[in-house]
Structure 1
Amino acid sequence: MHITIAGGGIGGLVTALALHDAGISVRVYESVPTLQPLGVGINLLPHAVRELTRLGLQAQLETTGIPTADLSYYNKFGQLIWTEPRGRAAGYAWPQYSIHRGRLQMLLLDEAIARLGADNVRTGCHLSDFETFDEQVRARFVNRETGETVADEWADALVGADGIHSVVRRTFYPDEGLPRWSGRMLWRGVSVAEPFLTGRSMVMIGHADQKFVAYPIDPLLAYQGRSRVNWIAELNVGTDTMPVRQDWNRKADPATFAPPFANWQFDWLDVPALIDSTDAVYAYPMVDRDPLPRWTFGRVTLLGDAAHPMYPIGSNGASQAILDARALTDALTNSPDDIPAALQAYETARLAPTAQIVLMNRQNGPEQVMQLAEERAPLGFQQVEDVITRGELETIAQRYKQIAGFEREKLSQV
């Protein structure tokens, strides 16, 4: 069996590692000529860390990411709404990691090259088109700048792990159009600052129309008593002005978004100082796509953001792609003689759960607690229990863990 993967992001690389670990031949094709440690921070939830640990990556994660100790939600006045331990601090068998996305991708890339061989991890190869046959799939890859064909690959299956602008997805859904925009913009940056709260805390402040997220991502700097803080500023800017695709991930002037956060100076975190001390800020629209009725077409299927792009709420994007990788590998291992059936089994296992997360994230997922506090107490509160009962807070937190698949009790039984 030989599998072709279009896309060398986190989902594509973890899938390659998992398939190789299961004894399945695999080759990855990535569009960009050179993969670089780009991006900012992400979080890996315990169920995703479990799968990476299964692939022998625990030691690398420990030296690359921060094991998140707790997650706390605050209102716009810096008043605590809800806090809960995370990862091992919450009794999980695996940590939750706050980690730089680019560093994680480089870790996975190095492992893939070492295990699969350099010839099986090819860059500068953009998927142009593909044809499906009864027994195989033929995929053509081009140099994106010149249009020259650089690879013509035959395989038993093609996995489209090629992101929110997936060529594979567009082939099957040509009329889908642009991603669905929330009306919210995200500005992301990384600053070096004093540690805040536990030094391994993740915080979310504000409400649906104005939010600030911060967490540390550099374990080496933490050992020196400093903190490299990933932060995200979010504002609702309306639904009529989504930037064109070429402007996504572009550098931004803090003056365009910082003023509404000017007074967010709390005893435990100085938001304006974090923004001011950042060398580069990047802007992104908050987008997703509607859940699909199917991912699999014969010997071709979708994975990760190509299958289920979602709002960056609840720390689920990368984690769900990693769970996809495990489900796909298990399906192919369990049904090696009927690949279309295996791909269909993978879809059956993953399509409905990820669709539920996409829709839940549109309702702000676990961050609903911040919006409830804003709606019920826009001027703040003396005690959060006067505004939201502890039962409500616990229900919201537990419901999202259940939907996203990382309930501690269920994971401990696997």
Structure 2
Amino acid sequence: MAYPCSRIAVVGAGSSGLYLALLLQRAGHQVRLFERSPTPRSEGCGILLVAAGVEAIAASGDSSLLQRLLAAGQPVARFVVRNLRGDTINAEAASQDPGRQPSLLIPRSAILDALWQGFAAEDFCGEAELIGWQQSNDRVDAFFANGDIWSGDLLIAADGIFSRVAPVLVPGHSLNYLGDRVWRGVVEDAHFCTAGDFFVYARGRGIYANFFDLGADSSGVQRTHWGFFHEEPLPASREQRRQLLSEPIPAEALAKLHPEAAALIAATLPQQLTANWSYDIEPLPRLVQGRVALIGDAAHAMSSSQARGMTAGLEDAQALAQALAASPEDLPSALLAYQAERLPLVHNYQNRSRAVSNRVGRRRIPAAA
């Protein structure tokens, strides 16, 4: 039986939005993938993509996509927890369940590249910043800053933690500041963090850091991803927040870390650095309203403490594509089925991530008024 072809807009070309758009293309829908940037995203450092995230990709049934992903990363081999002096607190081999996909240490850009290779590029619309939307019983309209208007059957917001759709769909939607300014980077490294290792420097004295092996790039250069978290109040003004994200790690903060680890961070080229303020969002009471749905960080942004953020978005995409395939004649009901499946799961992810984030020794620093 041939399913009816629906017109579906996906807003946001990060991993969850791109994966959903790819799945919908393959199901025969008329898809438009809108992205504020002029070109497809390729930024980002590294990520631990846990086994469930790899399995969400495997569930597409596209073996070539899965193989591209597996080839771009490497299985995590060992977790090591150290104190800030560099003494080992705990070290253990990463568990690998027989019959399951491995957890991967992988560049974020490699995940996006693997997805883009399977996506029909003519359905990508860059420089398309969503500024509003409206819906009726039988259609939804999306309005963009460049004057374009899209009309169709469904609008799926994958536009991240600062979503334009989520606060309208769920009044009262709010960000929760977790207490850190965070720098991340990728640096050449053939000696410090290798062979699938993941190092954690336990939080203390107002800082936390992690490092993990990314393997070799296409030129054979060995790389390590690192993250450095510095506890500080959130500045009240957007201007000051933006300014501080352009600044390097304070020298006095970096000096609290073991010298070998600090030296690796200091050796990172500026173009290999990113910085942000750490937020999550309060669990939302719903992910769907009529013909509009949220996926990914727009739906459930969470702390990185459980490495579940990207995985949850990939799972969202797979679940939503399956719900639409199961109820092609009644799209709003398909969205409600997606919500019924995902809402309790992502609430659990969010609550666990925040609980872990709150109990690892962070000083409680209030945000500025």
Q: Same fold (TM over 0.5)?
A: yes
Q: Deviations over 1:58-79 (max 9, x none)?
A: 2211332222222232233334
- CA deviation after TM superposition for structure 1 residue 39, in Å: 1.6
- CA deviation after TM superposition for structure 1 residue 3, in Å: 1.5
Identity across the alignment (%): 27
**Distance in 2 between residues matched to 1:217 and 1:198, nearest whole Å:** 8
Q: Secondary structure at the match of 2:52?
A: helix
Greater helix percent: which structure? 1
| Structure 1 equivalent of residue 314 of structure 2 | 322
Residue pair 2:78, 2:198 contacting (<8 A) in 1 also: yes
**Distance in 2 between residues matched to 1:340 and 1:230, nearest whole Å:** 42
| Structure 2 equivalent of residue 47 of structure 1 | 52
Q: Deviations over 1:171-191 (max 9, x none)?
A: 2235545x2111212111111
Aligned length: 351
Say what the alpha-carbon RMSD is for the aligned residues. Answer: 2.7
- CA deviation after TM superposition for structure 1 residue 2, in Å: 2.3
Q: Does 1:59 align with 2:64?
A: no
Residue pair 1:67, 1:200 contacting (<8 A) in 2 also: yes
Q: Does 1:337 align with 2:329?
A: yes
**Distance in 2 between residues matched to 1:84 and 1:341, nearest whole Å:** 46
Residue pair 2:187, 2:265 contacting (<8 A) in 1 also: yes
The 4+ residue runs of structure 1 with deviation greater than 6 A are: none
**Distance in 2 between residues matched to 1:253 and 1:53, nearest whole Å:** 39
| Structure 2 equivalent of residue 68 of structure 1 | 76
Q: Deviations over 1:8-55 (max 9, x none)?
A: 111100111222333333221111112342121112111111121233
Q: Structure 1's 243 and 44: CA in aligned 2 closer, same or farther, altered over 3 A?
A: farther
One-letter amino acid of the structure 1 residue matched with residue 291 of structure 2: R
Q: Does 1:166 align with 2:171?
A: no
Q: Does 1:204 align with 2:200?
A: yes
Instruction: Tell which deviates more after alignment, 34-43 or 285-294.
Output: 34-43
**Distance in 2 between residues matched to 1:284 and 1:364, nearest whole Å:** 20
Q: Does 1:109 align with 2:106?
A: no
Q: Structure 1's 36 and 163: CA in aligned 2 closer, same or farther, altered over 3 A?
A: closer
Q: Structure 1's 235 and 249: CA in aligned 2 closer, same or farther, altered over 3 A?
A: closer
The unaligned stretches of length 5 or more in structure 1 are: 144-148, 375-414
- CA deviation after TM superposition for structure 1 residue 330, in Å: 1.2
Instruction: Tell which deviates more after alignment, 161-170 or 90-99.
Output: 90-99
Q: Does 1:297 align with 2:289?
A: yes
Structure 2 counterpart of 1:347, from 319, 339, 342:
339
One-letter amino acid of the structure 1 residue matched with residue 58 of structure 2: T
Q: Structure 1-normalised TM-score?
A: 0.77
**Distance in 2 between residues matched to 1:313 and 1:91, nearest whole Å:** 25
Q: Does 1:38 align with 2:43?
A: yes
Structure 1 counterpart of 2:86, from 54, 66, 78:
78
Q: Structure 1's 352 and 248: CA in aligned 2 closer, same or farther, altered over 3 A?
A: farther
Residue pair 2:13, 2:41 contacting (<8 A) in 1 also: no
Q: Structure 2-normalised TM-score?
A: 0.86
Q: Secondary structure at the match of 1:119?
A: helix
- CA deviation after TM superposition for structure 1 residue 301, in Å: 0.7
Q: Does 1:229 align with 2:213?
A: no
